[in-house]
Amino acid sequence: MMKHVTVIGGGVLGTQIGLMGAYTGHQVTFWLRSESSIGRTQPKLERYKKMMIDELERSKQLIGNPLAAAYFPKGLIPDPANITVAKIDASIETARQRFEEQIEITLDLAEAVKEADIVIEAMSEDPAQKKQIYERLKAVMPAKTILCTNSSTLLPSQFAEATGRPEKYLSMHFANQIWRFNTAEIMKHEKTDEAVFNTVIQFAEELNMVPIPIYKEQPGYVLNSLLVPYLSAAQQLWAVGIADPEKIDQTWKIGTGAPKGPFEIIDVVGLETVYNIAKRQPQAETEGTIPNQITKLLKEKIEKGETGIHAGKGFYTYE
């Protein structure tokens, strides 16, 4: 088992990764850039600690319900079949204690990584920033340490040389609400050592994640490689006027049993993100094409402020 886990960055995913690390018994160190980063990260940590403990509390109501298997937060309760109220109470107790005792925050990069078995870089998706931090890490990270990036849009080969340890560098991509959407997409690049790849797959299991090994570099990893064409097909039906978004969603939900249809997912992802993807289509700027019609209609909605669930309105209206 990995003992020391260092998380570089205290954003939404970084904090969640660190908390899951501590919850599952690891010693976690956050490296943050400045005092003001600490000021921004602390409230996030408190918020996600509370969400995790609230999820555990709520899960008690699921015990004994024959339909509940799918509803447990698997990152927190990996074995719902054998769960009891007493076990959940013990997990809550453990969570509180580990959040208290097994998490450190430091501004000193050398200090942050000096005992690290694995470092997870969870900075913003800015290649220049990533390269800069990799250069700094190269100077202070022990030779044994594995370095992972949580990037969701950049490929690891782009940075492999900059890390100075291409064979110990790869992607490990987590999803928001890690305690519930507990996949870890683990993607190697051509120079990643096979043993390192396997070690990170095991580490994902230690974190109560379901490891998703990705054997070749793939933009969008697995989830977005499926989501993008699926959401795009739905947007086509809408843009061409074949059917209404709500009806398209109903068809998908009834036909496949899924809890959300494509337009409900678009509202969660946010219309700006979907628009940015649509704009990259080859024909997006060619008048009279479907991709062009899609970008125009999305833009209209964005300009009206209908950008999704966070705005209270997207394809649906939210309270």
Would you tell me which residues interact with a second copy (CB under 8 A)?
A: 62, 65-68, 70-71, 74, 175, 181-183, 185, 210, 212-216, 218, 222-223, 225-230, 232-234, 236-237, 240-244, 247-248, 250-252, 254-260, 262, 265
Q: Which is nearer to a second copy, 106 or 218 (CB)?
A: 218
Q: How far is the CB of 262 from a second copy (least distance, A)?
A: 7
Pairing of strands 118-121, 103-106: unpaired
Q: Which is nearer to a second copy, 118 or 184 (CB)?
A: 184
Q: How many other CB atoms are found less than 10 A from the CB of residue 181?
A: 15
Are 61 and 46 in contact, with CB atoms under 8 Å apart?
Answer: no
Query: Please, what is the Cα angle at 105 between 103 and 107, to 5 degrees?
Result: 160
Q: Which is nearer to a second copy, 49 or 188 (CB)?
A: 188
Q: How far is the CB of 210 from a second copy (least distance, A)?
A: 5
Q: How far is the CB of 317 from a second copy (least distance, A)?
A: 20
Q: What whole-number distance in Å separates Cα of residue 319 and Cα of residue 307?
A: 14
Q: How far is the CB of 87 from a second copy (least distance, A)?
A: 21
Are 31 and 146 in contact, with CB atoms under 8 Å apart?
Answer: no
Q: How far is the CB of 135 from a second copy (least distance, A)?
A: 30
Instruction: Tell me which residue has tokens 């064409």.
Output: 229
Q: How far is the CB of 185 from a second copy (least distance, A)?
A: 7
Q: Which is nearer to a second copy, 196 or 234 (CB)?
A: 234
Pairing of strands 4-8, 118-121: parallel
Q: Which pair of structure tokens corresponds to residue 122? A: 């969870």
Q: What whole-number distance in Å separates Cα of residue 132 and Cα of residue 124?
A: 12
Q: Which is nearer to a second copy, 68 or 107 (CB)?
A: 68
Q: Which is nearer to a second copy, 82 or 256 (CB)?
A: 256
Residues in the chain: 319
